[in-house]
Structure 1
Amino acid sequence: MNNVQVGNRGEEIALHFLSKKGYKILEKNFRLRIGEIDIIASKEGCIVFAEVKSRRNLDFGYPCEAVDFRKRKKILLVAKSYIHMKRLYNVDCRFDIIEVYLGEKKVNHIEGAFCE
């Protein structure tokens, strides 16, 4: 499995995981010129912008460690654009990271992983 396949599989697993937890999936791979957000979902009136990081093993560190300052900044910019496009000005939002460990068949959902 190459890196693109690992990422795609991880996103499929994350979508299924969130759906089972009662989240409504609003967007998958929401892309603008400035960047992309893997999953945009909602639950109990809160919009969740989720970054999915998948690993086959921990040779290159924990998945969440790949969401560095530069990546968080891009996610924030895309999220602000999404909020503006959809006119969601008075809605709570949150930024999550979903770690998918393919070798262990495990998902770790880090709610509120970072903020604006």
Structure 2
Amino acid sequence: MNNKEKGDLGECIACEYLLEKGAEVLESKYKIKSGEIDIIAKIDNELVFIEVKSRSNIKFGTPSESVNYKKIRKIVDTSKYYILKNNLYNIPIRFDVIEVYFNENKINHIINAF
């Protein structure tokens, strides 16, 4: 399985996890020219922008450690565009990271990650 396939699988697992927790998934793989957001969901009346990171092992660090400043900036900018385009000004927002550990069959949901 290549990295794109692993990423797609991790995002599917994260979507299933969110749906089981009662979230409403609004968008998956939301892309604009300047950036991408893996999942946009509504959880407890909050608009949540979610970055999904998957790993088979932690040889190179935990999944969330790969969400660096440059990636955060792109997610924030893309979320601003999404809010503007959909007129979602008066809804509380947050940014989460979902870590998917394939070998351990484990998910770690980091709320308000940045």
TM-score normalised over the length of structure 2: 0.98
Distance 2:87 2:55 in 1: 35
Counting only pairs closer than 5 Å after superposition, residues 1-116 of structure 1 correspond to structure 2 as 1-114=1-114
SS at match of 1:14: helix
Q: Which runs of 4+ in 1 moved over 2 A?
A: none
Identity of aligned residues (%): 49
Structure 1 residue identity aligned to 2:11: E
Q: 2:113 aligns to what SS in structure 1? A: strand
**What is the Cα deviation at residue 80 of structure 1?**
0.3
Residues 20-57 of structure 1 deviation map (CA, whole Å, 9 limit, x = unaligned) = 00100000000000100000000221000000000001
Q: Give SS of 1:90's match.
A: coil
* TM-score between the two structures when normalised by the length of structure 1: 0.97
Cα-to-partner distance string for 1:41-85 (whole Å, 9 max, x where unaligned): 002210000000000011111000010000000000000000000
Q: Tell me, which stretches of 5 or more residues in structure 2 are unaligned?
A: none
Q: What is the Cα-based RMSD across aligned positions, in Å?
A: 0.5
Count of residues in correspondence between the two structures: 114
